[in-house]
Amino acid sequence: MPLHPSAISPAVGARHHLWLLCLPFIWQLGLAPLINDVALRPFGMPFPMAWQMAGVVLSSLVFALVFHLDQRAGLETEEQAFIAAILQREAAEGVQ
């Protein structure tokens, strides 16, 4: 029987910030058709290439922000409780 995280730990802070993880996807794929015909050449590169490089930087910043917000919401505590419950269950079942 699978363990449900809500059964292991009390309600953890809201995770409404996870929608931020959509931003890199929108940047890289959703806006690509709009920037393909831009004639600007920053640093001598085609604009779509510079756009993709900026998208990598944006993605890194978004991931770092989500990581920080997850820590503040108590995700590590929830993960530790979940892992402890799994190990306890495996020990009770004799699985190593």
Write the CA distances from 31 to 48, 72, 73, 88, integer angstroms.
10, 31, 31, 47
Q: For the chain, how many structural domains are there in total?
A: 1
Residue 66, pLDDT score: 92
Q: What is the pTM of this model?
A: 0.66
- How far apart (Å, rounded) are the C-alpha atoms in residues 78 and 53? 35
Q: Tokens 């978004």 identify what position?
A: 62
Where in the sequence is the domain holding 63, given as residue range(s)?
A: 53-96
User: Is 43 a domain residue?
Assistant: no
Residue 16, pLDDT score: 83
How confident is the model over 4-32, as a mean pLDDT? 75
